[in-house]
Structure 1
Amino acid sequence: MNNEVIITAALTGAGDTVGKSEHVPVTPEQIATSAVDAANAGAAVVHIHVRNVDDGKGSRDVALYREVVRQVRESGVDVVINLTAGMGGDLVIDQDDPLKPVDGTDLVNGLERLPHVEELLPDICTMDCGSLNFGEGSQLYISTPDMLRAGAKRIQELGVKPEMEIFDTGQLWFATKLIEEGLIDAPPLFQLCMGIPYGAPVDPGVLQSMVNMLPEGANWASFAIGRNQMPWVAQSAILGGHVRVGLEDNLYLSRGVKATNAQLVERAVTIVEALGAKVATPDQAREKLGLKRRS
């Protein structure tokens, strides 16, 4: 059991959710406001994607990240900033010609996924630790060992903490190799991602096996998508981990009731405290995760 739990709020993601809920933030102002609201509700960390303002689709535009981070930092609210570095890994192939990428492809190398991290120097950035079939159809997420080694080295040079996103056990195996090779500074940080087709299923036994594979001294959190989000808050804390909630992974507070990020964080706080644990403050999160406090 984890007695001091860090709550991360994943605010918007890059999925096709904008038309499914009016609460999904799109503009930099909306994302920043949602970050501040989530922090005030109890989130120590906010995980940030950005979206194109005109169509709501996920974006790698550094200017959008710059504006969100500026507004969060100038808000006066203390919160740990975690920027995604996973955009740029999408490959959609033609079934008849697998070497031909089609609409929806946004594939760049590992270093080209980091310009916003290089400029803004967040506390944390994510690093998706492997490739996988992303749902049905012909979409793949591509993150090769060479891409990951190059990205990990650059993130290390920047002094940013990588949050290693783990979608299956093979990715966890590779992440431990990055640690052994000296590309990840101690203490390492893992996010165990459950229920994303077709990675690790939402199964407590699978989570336990992944926790058993973690290197000694690692910090870790876990989340599950959709209606499993809140049960997974309890599951993660009971197994000794931290938790993640937010509209990136789930749009509902209860059946038929659409949520805001702040409401999802409030629900997570209730669950954590009902288990007899405390919710970590941003400074406690920094200490646990080995983060530098940036000015």
Structure 2
Amino acid sequence: MTKRLLTCAVLGNFTTRSLNPALPITPAEIADDCLAAAEEGASIVHIHVRDPQTELPSMEVPLYAEVVSRIRDVREDLIINLTTGNGGRFHPTDGNPVLPGPRTNLLPPDDRVRHIQEIKPDVATLDLNTMVFGGEVVINPPSSVRRMGELILAAGSRPEIELFDSGDIALLKALQKEGSLPEAPLCSIVMGVPYGFAPGPETVLYARGLLPPGAKWTAFGTGRYAFPMLAQSLLAGGHARIGLEDAVRLDAETLAPSNAAMVAKARRMMEDLGHPPATPEEARALLDL
């Protein structure tokens, strides 16, 4: 049996407690969910943070630092993956798309990775997508991606390249060619965001075939595609990701009671398919951390 990575994406930017009351919000809740997911088999935890009062996505470094500190007080081995996805959104104003609307959060690339520079996590995500995303436009120009990648690497963190469509893979290869991103990258193939990769086995195989040589990759789907695409990723040679960032149900009839419950189901699927989750120590060796 070949072991695979299992990542728990614990909350993200879009899931709300109205969709699932089990969503963690405070740093203590997020850390507890990460630790519970690790007990069920996750070797990596992918972390966003929220403002505890408003429950809205936050980029405050102290919130990230508290989550990481709480995890490290209990588990030194667990691989911590922090997002850098915030700070790339432009919300066009109705009637005048040149003006930024209230949901715009565009920031310079240095500000988007400030928490990475200070906390120095094991892994940091790096989005390559420029696309319509919900009611906004996500803007990740090559210059910003190049700068963020440089700062992530300088912090000693490994970039996880987030790929939402085939053009993102072309950008990855272009940045590799100029030496801005490393060879044999760690990649996530994101499926289910409207106007990006559509979830399905054909997409997984197509995207896998475009990846640079030596890439380590995970394909994952959102919503009702989360668990089917987890299986498809494993069958195609990839790794696994699940959590309340990507979906809120265990199945069509059952709201997920926790991130840990989603990881437990994923672990059983992985074991049944002959690819049980790697331990954090094994995952560190696999990722050369």
User: What band does the TM-score fall into relative to the shorter chain?
Assistant: over 0.9
Aligned residue number for residue 244 of structure 2: 247
Aligned residue number for residue 61 of structure 1: 60
Structure 2: runs of 5 or more not aligned: none
Aligned residue number for residue 263 of structure 1: 261
**Partners in 2 of 1:76 and 1:205 — Cα distance?**
38
- Output the TM-score relative to the length of structure 2: 0.97
Match of 2:231, as an amino acid? A
2:186 aligned with 1:189, yes or no? Answer: yes
Determine if contact 1:222/1:236 at 8 Å carries over to the other structure: yes
**Partners in 2 of 1:82 and 1:241 — Cα distance?**
18
Match of 2:281, as an amino acid? D
**Partners in 2 of 1:6 and 1:121 — Cα distance?**
21
**Partners in 2 of 1:156 and 1:252 — Cα distance?**
35
SS at structure 2 position matched to 1:278: coil
Aligned residue number for residue 233 of structure 1: 230
**Partners in 1 of 2:152 and 2:212 — Cα distance?**
20
Identical positions, percent: 37
Following superposition, the deviation at residue 159 of structure 1 comes to: 1.6
Aligned residue number for residue 275 of structure 1: 273
Aligned residue number for residue 149 of structure 1: 146
SS at structure 2 position matched to 1:18: coil
Following superposition, the deviation at residue 177 of structure 1 comes to: 1.7
Match of 2:276, as an amino acid? K
2:201 aligned with 1:204, yes or no? Answer: yes
**Partners in 1 of 2:237 and 2:133 — Cα distance?**
28
**Partners in 1 of 2:189 and 2:226 — Cα distance?**
13
Determine if contact 2:184/2:213 at 8 Å carries over to the other structure: no
**Partners in 2 of 1:248 and 1:202 — Cα distance?**
16
CA deviations 1:110-156 (Å, max 9, x no partner) are 11101110010000000001211002x4x111111110011111112
Determine if contact 1:89/1:141 at 8 Å carries over to the other structure: yes
Following superposition, the deviation at residue 93 of structure 1 comes to: 0.5
Structure 1: runs of 5 or more not aligned: none
Match of 1:116, as an amino acid? H
**Partners in 2 of 1:202 and 1:97 — Cα distance?**
34
Following superposition, the deviation at residue 197 of structure 1 comes to: 1.4
2:155 aligned with 1:158, yes or no? Answer: yes
SS at structure 2 position matched to 1:98: strand
CA deviations 1:156-186 (Å, max 9, x no partner) are 2222100000000000110122222222234
**Partners in 2 of 1:56 and 1:43 — Cα distance?**
25
SS at structure 2 position matched to 1:9: strand
Determine if contact 1:187/1:289 at 8 Å carries over to the other structure: no
Task: Report 1:20-35 matches (<5 A).
Answer: 20-35=19-34
SS at structure 2 position matched to 1:202: coil
Aligned residue number for residue 95 of structure 1: 94
Aligned residue number for residue 123 of structure 1: 122
Runs of 4+ displaced beyond 3 Å: none
Number of aligned residue pairs: 288
With over 3 angstroms needed to count, the CA separation of the structure-2 counterparts of 1:230 and 1:16, relative to structure 1, is closer
**Partners in 1 of 2:246 and 2:66 — Cα distance?**
23
**Partners in 1 of 2:75 and 2:264 — Cα distance?**
20
SS at structure 1 position matched to 2:240: strand
| Farther-moved stretch of structure 1 (98-107 vs 29-38) | 98-107
Alpha-carbon RMSD across the aligned residues, in angstroms, is 1.2
- Output the TM-score relative to the length of structure 1: 0.95
With over 3 angstroms needed to count, the CA separation of the structure-2 counterparts of 1:77 and 1:152, relative to structure 1, is closer
Determine if contact 2:40/2:260 at 8 Å carries over to the other structure: yes
Aligned residue number for residue 86 of structure 1: 85
Determine if contact 1:187/1:290 at 8 Å carries over to the other structure: no
Determine if contact 1:26/1:50 at 8 Å carries over to the other structure: yes
Following superposition, the deviation at residue 78 of structure 1 comes to: 2.8
